[in-house]
Amino acid sequence: METASTFSPNATSGSSTNPVQRGVDSAGAMLHSGIDKVADPARSAVDSFSASAHDSVNRLASNAQHTASRFSDQTRRMTEAPKKALAYSKSRVQDQPFVAVGAAFAVGYIIGWLRSR
């Protein structure tokens, strides 16, 4: 960015310039100074807004990642639950076959009794 102290489009390398040239240089320097005074706060506001927007996006992405991870865990548990229940049932029937047959008979009897009513 060009500032007021560096503005001199027609500067001569040597002797002093004429009064008109000095006036033009002075006016240009003042205009650059005015632009810098307006641009610096605007740049600061844009930088602040940009940083805030980036922070918001980062928080949103983090929350979305956390939610996706939890959803994935819940889905995995839901798909594993029937397998675990079946494995548990098989082990119980193998460990106590007579209790399993008695329980199946009792459940069948109750269902038959309820359906006959």
Per the structure, the complete domain to which residue 65 belongs is given by 4-116
Helices and strands in the chain, H and E counts: 2, 0
Rg (CA), the chain: 41
State how many domains the chain has.
Answer: 1
Nearest-angstrom CA–CA distance, 78 and 80? 5
Q: What pLDDT score was predicted for residue 16?
A: 58
The mean pLDDT value for 105-114 works out to: 94
Tell me the per-residue pLDDT of 13-48, one tens digit each, with 9 for 90 and over.
444 568 888 888 888 889 888 888 888 888 888 888
Tell me the per-residue pLDDT of 78-102, one tens digit each, with 9 for 90 and over.
999 999 999 998 998 899 999 999 9
The mean pLDDT value for 62-70 works out to: 94
Assess contact for 10 and 25: CB atoms under 8 A: yes
The predicted model scores a pTM of 0.46
